[in-house]
Copies of this chain bind each other. A is one copy, B any other.
């Protein structure tokens, strides 16, 4: 039996990183403050998880200045979108399997 959790990619599955990719699935790019507020994170926690996603090639981070103030934009790369889609597919399979098992009991 190949259990669906075996297909989960821990880089994407981790709660905060899943949240980042979920927000980026709803918008072409999000800024650091928006991500931090939406996901209720500290600066350090968000930075750390963005770095993991960036090192995996799943997000691109762009630091800009707007009216002389720094602003950090984040967007999902093509690889990040694909990894998020695979995660969603595995989660759906897991939920389906749990539903089936519940029906059998």
Q: A3 contacts which of B4, B39, B88, B92 (Cβ < 8 Å)?
A: B39
Copies of this chain in the oligomer: 2
Report which of B15, B88, B97, B102 forms a contact with A98, defined as CB distance below 8 A: B88
Q: A22, B91: Cβ atoms under 8 Å?
A: no
Q: Which residues of B contact A23 (CB under 8 A)?
A: 3
Which B residues are in CB contact (< 8 Å) with A97?
22, 26
> Which A residues form the contact surface with B (CB < 8 A)?
1, 3-6, 8, 10, 13-16, 18-19, 22-23, 25-26, 38-40, 88, 91-92, 94-95, 97-98, 101-102
> Is A5 in contact with B18, judged by CB distance below 8 angstroms?
yes
A5 adjacent to B95 (CB under 8 Å): no
Interface SS of chain A: helix
From B15, B40, B95, contact of A10 by CB (8 A)? B15
